[in-house]
Amino acid sequence: MTLRICFVTGTRADYGLLSPVVEALKADPAFAVQIAATGMHLSPEFGLTYREIEADGHAIDAKVEMLLSSDTATGAAKSAGLGLIGFADAFARLSPDMVMMLGDRFEALSAATAALIARIPVAHLSGGDVTEGAFDEAMRHSITKMSHLHFVASADAARRVRQLGEDPARIHQVGDPGLDRLRTMARMTRTEVEAKLDFKLRPRNLLVTFHPATLDAVPSTAQFEELLAALADLPQDVGLIFTKPNADPEGRTLIERLDTFVAGRANAVARTSLGHKLYLAAMAQCDAVIGNSSSGLLEAPSLGKPSINIGGRQDGRLRAASVASCAPTHAAIAAAIEACWGKDWRGVENPYGDGRAAERILRVLKTVGDPRSLLKKRFHDLP
């Protein structure tokens, strides 16, 4: 029996993490891979990143339009509603045996809801993680309760999924699949990275990504201004490579402010999306990663790069010794940058695994048999 596995991806970030699993399943005749692209992937405003999926040689079986051009909580909620409608139609047409998704965003929440109601088992990656500074936290745990197989990154995450009442036999600690790419990818040279970025790297460089912090008491725009003020103080021999924020509330306001900042600085460049390969290649060439993106906690340690994690968006996440956290203030950010220069964290232990998540996931999926047997769940109380 060939299992039809439908991967749901809504952002450049979750696709980069999912892609090693997509490739592993495509290479095995026991599986037929489907891909449903949605959210920012389909938006010109966010770079039409579905093209990156196609450039990797993957067909897109469904495009679920759901993202409104809005920077408000109301717009995000309406987008989630459109996603539920779109995924209901897509799953009815594709008839997958299982839906697989990663993480915590509202696109994944819509897809999980549609799959649950359609009686399609859900395999969820990266459940049990904690991000106390964003409403994604509640969405992640909600998706866990709608899922039937759990592929978690760490022992802490596995424990939290058990606390949510999930069957321990369905919880598999595999590591984070984003690290698989770091283990296997061919590395770009510094010259190749400069050509792809159309930007001359400086003697020292920072990779900067700041997303809306949707639950922080201090508005994301105010935090971002503090970050930009600290970066503006740096000398011209420091290169600043920005990737733009995602489509959460306040995201578009942050993008407008970023474009204004970069326009007046020869040592700065901003890209809507680098794609996962160029993003990791740029990270490898930089001296540090700064902002509030999960990539500073997940991938940067495996590249031996220090990370400066700003504010509370990632509060609760496991972090390597190479990750320094600071308050979202000009002074605190400037001090953290000064402390990071020259730090070499090669060999630091990454709490998110060893880069072999995809092969572990593949082994588990091969034991499933009839996916419909997963549909009925019992709540497992802790001893």
Domains of the chain (ranges, CATH numbers): 3-177+355-374 (3.40.50.2000), 187-340 (3.40.50.2000)
Question: Whole-angstrom Cα distance, residue 233 to residue 305?
Answer: 22
Tens digits of per-residue pLDDT, 62-79?
999 998 988 788 988 999
Question: Whole-angstrom Cα distance, residue 4 to residue 7?
Answer: 10
Tens digits of per-residue pLDDT, 217-238?
788 999 999 999 999 999 999 9
Mean pLDDT within 281-309: 95
**What's this model's pTM, rounded to 2 decimal places?**
0.87
Contacts of 288 (CB under 8 A, 6+ apart): 206, 207, 305, 306, 307, 308, 337, 340, 341, 343
- Predicted local confidence at residue 112, as pLDDT: 98
Phi and psi (nearest 5°) for 267?
Answer: -95, 15
Is 80 exceeded by the pLDDT of residue 134?
no
Give Cα separations from 27 to 22, 31, 58, 103 (angstroms): 9, 8, 12, 24
Tens digits of per-residue pLDDT, 75-87?
889 999 999 999 9
Question: Whole-angstrom Cα distance, residue 326 to residue 41?
Answer: 31
Mean pLDDT of the residues in the chain: 94
Tens digits of per-residue pLDDT, 10-61?
988 899 889 999 999 999 999 999 999 999 899 888 889 999 999 999 999 9
Question: Whole-angstrom Cα distance, residue 44 to residue 150?
Answer: 33
In this structure, what token pair is assigned to residue 200? 């001359």
